[in-house]
Amino acid sequence: MRILVLNPNTTASMTATIRALAEESARPGTEITATQPLWGPESIEGHFEGQLSAVAVLDRLATFQEQFDALVMAGFGEPGREAAQELLDVPVFDITECAAQMAMMLGHSYAVVTTLDRAVPQIQDRLLTAGLLQRCASVRGTGLGVLELEEDTERTVREILTQARAAVEEDHAEVICLGCGGMAGLRERVEAELGVPVVDGVAAAVGFAEAVVGLGLSTSKVRGFAPPRPKTITSWPLSRHLPGPGGN
C-alpha cells in the first residue's frame, strides 16, 4: 500500500524529517510518498497560515498525479482534514487526531506539548471538534517557533521535557503527544527521559492508515463528507495559474 504524507508547509527539510519518520514507522510493504504544497507559508503558526496551508494542501492533492491508498496530513492543529475527506476516495488521517486517539489507547488522559502558546486554543478547538477533548489534560506551548525546533535539538528536547513534566505532574496527563510535525524524530528520546509514553502524530497516523486500508475501509460519503457538487470554481487548481513548479 502507498501512503501519501503531506507536510502542510513549504519547508523541504521538514518534509524530509516527516518522510523519514513515516518511513521508519511504516511496516514492510508500505510505501511512503511525502510531499509539500507548491506555494504557501514556510511554517504554520496560527489560523491565517493554517487556512492558507489547508488550501495549498488541497491544491497539491488536486494536481498530484500518483495513486495512493491513504493520506496523512502532517500539520498539527491545522484545518482541512474534512475538505480532503470530501475530495478523496481514500481515507484521510490528521496527525492531531491520530496522536490523541493513540494516546487515549495508552493512558487515562493525555497532554499535547506544542510550539507557541498562540497555537494552544487552535489545537484545543481541533480536538473539541473531533470529539477527542474530554480526556485531554492540557495543551502546553514550549515557546519555540516551528522552524526553531530544528535549530538546536538540545534546547528543543529540554523545553519539551519541561512542559511534558509539568503536564504529567500538575495536569495529571499519563501520555504525551508531540504537538508539531517538526518534532517528529524526538519521540524516543523524550520518552526515555520522561518515563511515560510519548506519541508522535505522524507515526500514529501511518499506523492507523495501515490498519484502515488493510480492512478495506474508507471515508463515509453519505452526509458530511459527500463529494463536492459540480460547480464553477474559478482559478482552481490555483497552482496551475501561479508561478513555480506547478504553474505557468
**Residues of this chain, 156-185, that bind a second copy according to CB under 8 A:** 168, 172, 174-175
If one asks whether residue 83 binds a second copy (CB under 8 A), the answer comes out as yes
- Asked if residue 78 binds a second copy (CB under 8 A), the reply is no
Establish if 69 lies at the interface with a second copy (CB under 8 A). no
87 touches a second copy by CB under 8 A: yes
Dist CA 181 CA 17 (whole Å): 9
Residues 93 and 75: their CA atoms lie apart, in Å, by: 11
Binding residue for a second copy, selected from 97, 114, 180, 186, defined by CB under 8 A? 97
Residue matched to cell numbers 504554520: 44
Q: How far apart are CA 199 and CA 191, in angstroms?
A: 9
In the complex, the smallest distance separating the C-beta of residue 71 from a second copy, rounded to whole angstroms, is 12
Tell me the closest approach of the beta carbon of residue 200 to a second copy, in angstroms. Answer: 8
In the 8-state DSSP scheme, what is residue 177? E
**12 counts as binding a second copy under rule CB under 8 A:** no
| Residue 33 beta carbon to a second copy: minimum distance, rounded to whole angstroms | 19
For residue 53, the one-letter residue type is S
Taking alpha carbons only, the member of 122, 94, 127 closest to residue 111 is: 127
Q: Among residue numbers 21 through 60, which ones bind a second copy (CB under 8 A)?
A: 25, 27, 39-43, 45-52, 54-55, 58
Instruction: Answer yes or no whether residue 16 interacts with a second copy by CB under 8 A.
Output: no
Consecutive H or E run containing 2: strand 2-6
Residue 139 CA to chain centroid, in angstroms? 16
How many residues in the chain? 248
Whole-number minimum distance, CB 164 to a second copy, in Å?
A: 12
